[in-house]
Every structure is written in C-alpha cells, then in structure tokens.
Amino acid sequence: MLTQISRRRRVAALLALATALTVAAPVVEARPGGGGSMGSRGSRTFNAPSATPTAPGGGMTMQRSQTSPSPGMGSPGMQAPAQGRRFGGGFFAGLLGAGLIGALLGGGFFGGLGGLASMIGLLFQVGLVVVVVMLALRFFRRRNEPAGAGAPYARSSLDGQQGPTGPMGGAPGGPGAGMFGGQRPPQNRPVQIGPNDFQAFERLLGDIQDAYSREDRVTLGNLSTPEMVSYFDEELRNNASRGVVNKITDVKLLQGDLAESWGEDRTDYATVAMRYALKDVMVERAGGRIVSTDSSEATELWTFQRQPGRGWVLSAIQQTR
C-alpha cells in the first residue's frame, strides 16, 4: 500500500514538474527571430506597440536590443527586460523545480507527512506554488507594460489605404510626449505611409525569410540593420552547430496593418503588424533528411527604418501578446 502511494506521489510530482517547466520556459521557434522580440525602434525601442486589428493584444516589450535605455525612452520607471527570456521565468522555474525534486526525494516542500495525507499535501503545495508563480508573472508583466499601450489611434492597413497616425506619428502617450528626468526626449515627426511602402514591407517579409532559408548573409545585410543581421547570424550558427538547416517556403501575407509610423532626426520608422502563413522545415545538413516540418501561421510586429535616399530595412521583430 505504501509502495503504491509512493509511486503515485512520484508520478504526480513529475507531471506537475513537466507542466510547470512547460509554462515557465520560453518558447523558441525556428523562423527568423526565433519567435522572440529583438532589435531597435529608436526612442520607442522599449515601448510595446499598441493593439491593431491584426494584433489585437498589442506587442511584447523588447527582449534583446543593442539600444540602451535612456531618460525619455519608454515609460517612466520602465526597465529593459533581461535578454533572451522574460523576467521571472527562470527564477520561478528553478524554485518550483527545486521543490518538486525535493518532493521526489521524499521531503516535500515543507517536510513530511505520511501515506495518503502526504500525497494530498504534496498536490496542494504544488497547486499553491503554481498559483503564486502565475500571479507573480502577471504582476511583472503588467509592471513592464508601457503607459499608454492600447490607446486608440488612426491606422492604415496593407491594402493601399493611406492614413495619418496622430500628432507625433504614432500612439498618443508615446516617448514623443512629455518630459522625463529633466531631459527632452527625441523629437518625433509624422511620417506618411502609402501604397508603395506597404508593398515594400510585404516584399521584405518574403525576401528576408528566403535569404534566411538560404543562409545568405549578404542579402540579409542588404535587407536588415546590422543589429538584426547579428541576431540572424547567431541563429544560423546555432543551426549549423546542430547540423541542421532551416528551410522556409510558401511565405504569404494574410493580413497586415500599420501600428505606428514616425521620424527621428533623419530616420523614418514604421511598425507593421503582419499575420502570414509559412512552411517551416528543419533539414539535416549532411544527408538532407527532414528532421521536422510545420505549416503554420505567425503574427508578428516588424519595424522597418529608412534613411534619406535609401529603401526600407528591417530593424526589429516583436511577438504579439
């Protein structure tokens, strides 16, 4: 009887551990950007893009960026998230994992009871910790959301319709408004986005995916900022170390709209929410054997920047909430 209860305890603990680690661990996807939020958006780098019809939940804050937060950049008191994963995920996963490992060894979270009472106590403790973790993650996520996220503004969709974005070229309450720390933030100016720009964004979506699939770093350098190329190169080197190649085909834009457009100094910016279909295949580098395949859809916010006399290039990719 005691042996059966002990086995049940171990099974319950293992299931809870697997569930907790699945929830807490960051999701890494194969396409360019790895399913993360990375790059730079000028003075709005650490402001999450607001909601659009294509991305109703808005965008996530930046996880990786070579832009350093400065006074006037982003919301007051807001800090840049840790690179590579959301704040709190690794800490709480480790805390929960340590407690469950202790339970497997017979100690539980808070010491031992016996028999059936011990198993019930363990399940109660696991449930309690999961609730605490969820509440903590929700708290930190809300604390990291920029002020003004989700505020209404005029939009343009990728159907050739042109529309203004507001007095500062983006969502009200962004970094172009107000003062912080006694320093004046970068001055934003309005930027009008027209049909030719929308066509360029759609073309860049396909061309960047194609160049990434071919591991063509030269083309990636022509279509992206040096910062984004460094992230792509890191991903490609990781694939090479694993002996695989990421082949991406059948990229098709399904829906898109403009979230923000603005200018800073001599640089124009445009953040566009795009929902697109793609076929994502991992192929063995040596033998050509298919390791994994996935035909799916993705919704991301891509930010493009443009210098005078030059075309648009990709400067950031952010995931939706």
The CATH code of the domain that includes 207 is 3.10.450.240
Residue 32 pLDDT class (50, 70, 90 cuts): confident
Are both 207 and 134 inside the same structural domain? no
Asked if residue 72 belongs to a domain, the reply is no
Three-state SS at 131: helix
Domain extent, residue 93, equals 2-22+88-144
Query: Residue 78 falls within a domain, yes or no?
Result: no
103 and 230 share a domain?
no
**Residue 50 contacts residue 313 (beta carbons within 8 Å):** no
85 neighbors 26 (Cβ within 8 angstroms): yes
Residue 141 has pLDDT above 50, yes or no: yes
| Residue 250 pLDDT level (bands cut at 50, 70, 90) | very high
Co-location of 54 and 193 in the same domain: yes
12 and 138: one domain? yes
Same domain, 49 and 9: no
Nearest to 88 by CA among 134, 27, 22: 134
Q: What are the tens digits of pLDDT across the range 152-207?
A: 333 345 655 444 343 333 333 343 333 334 445 668 999 999 999 999 999 999 99
Residue with tokens 């006694």: 182
Mean pLDDT over 95-120 rounds to 49
Give residue 174's pLDDT. 40
Confidence of residue 318 (pLDDT cuts 50, 70, 90): very high
Mean pLDDT, to the nearest integer, of 82-93?
35
Is 182 within a domain? no
Q: Does 220 lie in the same domain as 242?
A: yes
Mean predicted confidence (pLDDT) in 274-303: 95
The Cα 88–Cα 93 span in angstroms is 8
- The total domain count for the chain is 2
Same domain? 162 vs 284: yes
Do 305 and 162 lie in a common domain? yes
The band of 84, judged by pLDDT with boundaries at 50, 70 and 90, is very low
Residue 273 in contact with residue 256, Cβ under 8 Å?
yes
* 70 falls within a domain: no
Residue 205 within a domain: yes
pLDDT at 112: 46
Q: Is pLDDT of 82 > 50?
A: no
Is 70 exceeded by the pLDDT of residue 59?
Answer: yes
> Is the pLDDT reported for residue 237 higher than 90?
yes
- Average pLDDT of 286-299? 92
Determine the pLDDT at residue 187.
82
> Is residue 13 scored above 70 in pLDDT?
no
pLDDT, average across residues 206-224: 98
Average pLDDT estimate for 31-47: 91
> Where does residue 23 fall: left (phi above 0), alpha (psi -120 to 50 degrees), or beta otherwise?
alpha
Same domain, 164 and 98: no
Return the amino acid letter for 12. A
Q: Is 53:151 a contact under the CB 8 Å cutoff?
A: no
Least confident window among 66-80, 110-124, 136-150, 211-225 = 136-150
- Note the pTM of the prediction, 2 decimals: 0.61
Same domain, 17 and 49: no
DSSP code per residue over 68-108: PP-TTSSSTT--PPPTTS-TTHHHHHHHHHHHHHHHHTT-T
pLDDT at 263 over 50: yes
| 108 shares a domain with 193 | no
- Pair (196, 250) in one structural domain: yes
Per-residue pLDDT band at 5 (split at 50, 70, 90): low
80 inside domain: no
Q: 147 is written with which tokens?
A: 């002020």
Pair of tokens at residue 241? 């170390």
Judged by average pLDDT, the poorest of 76-85, 210-219, 239-248, 281-290 is 76-85
Residue 180 maps to a domain: no
151 within a domain of the structure (yes/no): no
